[in-house]
Chain A
Amino acid sequence: MNRLSVATVVAPASLPPMAGETGSMNKLSVATAWLDGCSGCHMSFLDLDERLVDLVRYLDILYSPLVDAKHLPERVDVGILEGSVSNADDLRQAQAFRDRCRILISLGDCAVNGNVPSMRNPYPLAAVLDRAYRENVTLQPQVPRVGVPALLPRVRPLHEVVAVDVFVPGCPPPADAIFYVLSELIAGRTPDSTQVTRFGA
């Protein structure tokens, strides 16, 4: 039986023993997306480096900015969303993920608490748009409306619009925290991310 190296993990996390290199394991299917985030959480995910090779023996990444697929599958075991819910398209994606994912992870401070995107919330949306597209623009000031989703009046954390199962704060959450959370889910446990990360981490 193989055990994955967990030497770099902050909390005692371990992946379950493999059924055998070629055994027909039931892999967890995974979908990820970023809403109003900077992609930093996905970069942190990539920061798992060689541990990604270990993880893909247990995970099937079916839909993500990191893979080619263009459509979210009907059923997914684990959905991972980075970024806050700031526009109509974010809201649509959040709801689609909730509908289709058994476990939904809110990854990173933007998804968990609104973070930097939510700093516009104390101002009315019209004032925000004016500031960005009219006040500081000298040539043809105009608010873009074609081909971009409409901004919501307020930026919301993910759990204010859909139910969330696992919260992983951090800006971005360290790769070790992401590894811990995924390892716990693979092992069938509920991760407690406050062991390994915090707001602003």
Chain B
Amino acid sequence: MPPPPTPANVRVVTLTIDGQDLSARADETIIEVCRENQIPIPSLCYLDGLSIWGACRLCLVEIAGQGRLFAACATQVAEGMQVLTNTERLRRYRRTIVELLFAERSHICSVCVSNGHCELQHLAQTCGVDHVRVPYRQARYQMDSSHELFRLDHNRCILCTRCVRVCDEIEGAHTWDLMGRGSDCLVITDLAQPWGDSETCTGCGKCVQVCPTGALVKQGTSAGEMVKDQHFLPILARRRQAR
């Protein structure tokens, strides 16, 4: 989303990212500045137009003089900040995070409706995941095909909560939420009722479009057919902000 014009009272700061001198508005986050300057940072829960969640940890960066790592989506820039986005340590962590996501639930890309259009699958390739070094959990999760238009497959869900946020913040329906903890955590519709019985779901399909994987898809799609379109999000988000 192109940044709104700088309000007069927002300062401009200068910082370096991977040695590159950059200036940015003081209220911007590191990931926003990176995206504006074509500096690649992997992310899954972050999506321009939705609130910040900071859960996937893929956008972790190093900041000079700081002992810990910072989530680029949840950290505002500051004057003189020196950010590193692509160190050996970060690459190792990112690869491990992606591998853990693959090991946690069942991702059989070859037969997935999102094969070839999936953010997780793409990240695996760009993070150098040519195999998963931890044992697969191979637990069994359910599907919900009760909705006449859409389908939910918990096996492909990475719990990024994009669906929860878009439904609440953009559509205003708040059909989705989270239930349970750890590996039992699930996205649910209404009070964990079948999606097709939901009284709050408007059938708009925004959750399906923002879902990065094959967890939320249109009915009637088969392997590789689910192509998502997220163009609506920055436009609607900007209109909501303007109000």
Q: Do A and B bind each other?
A: yes
Residues A122 and B139 in contact, CB atoms below 8 Å apart: yes
Q: A160-B135, A167-B131 are in contact. Are A115 and B125 (CB under 8 A)?
A: no
Q: Which of A91-99, A130-138, A193-201 contacts B (4 or more CB under 8 A)?
A: A193-201
Among A123, A164, A168, A200, find the residue whose CB has the most chain B CB atoms closer than 10 A: A200
Q: How far is the CA of A192 from the CA of B129 in the complex (A)?
A: 10
The answer to whether the Cβ of B211 comes within 8 Å of any Cβ in the partner chain is no
The answer to whether the Cβ of B115 comes within 8 Å of any Cβ in the partner chain is yes
> How many of chain B's residues touch chain A, expressed as a range?
20 to 34
* 3 smallest beta-carbon distances between A and B, as pairs: A200-B109, A171-B110, A122-B140
Residues A113 and B112 in contact, CB atoms below 8 Å apart: no
Number of A positions contacting B (CB below 8 A): 27
Q: Which of B20-28, B72-80, B100-108, B174-182 contacts A (4 or more CB under 8 A)?
A: B100-108
The answer to whether the Cβ of A116 comes within 8 Å of any Cβ in the partner chain is yes
Q: How far is the CA of A198 from the CA of B139 in the complex (A)?
A: 23
Residues of chain B from 101 to 134 with CB closer than 8 A to chain A in the complex: 102, 106-112, 115-116, 121-122, 124-126, 128-133
The answer to whether the Cβ of B232 comes within 8 Å of any Cβ in the partner chain is no
The answer to whether the Cβ of A154 comes within 8 Å of any Cβ in the partner chain is yes
Residues B121 and A169 in contact, CB atoms below 8 Å apart: no
Among A113, A121, A160, A199, find the residue whose CB has the most chain B CB atoms closer than 10 A: A199
Q: How far is the CA of A200 from the CA of B128 in the complex (A)?
A: 15
Residues A118 and B132 in contact, CB atoms below 8 Å apart: no
Q: How far is the CA of A198 from the CA of B122 in the complex (A)?
A: 8
Q: How far is the CA of A171 from the CA of B223 in the complex (A)?
A: 12
The answer to whether the Cβ of A112 comes within 8 Å of any Cβ in the partner chain is yes
The answer to whether the Cβ of B221 comes within 8 Å of any Cβ in the partner chain is no
Q: How far is the CA of A113 from the CA of B106 in the complex (A)?
A: 10
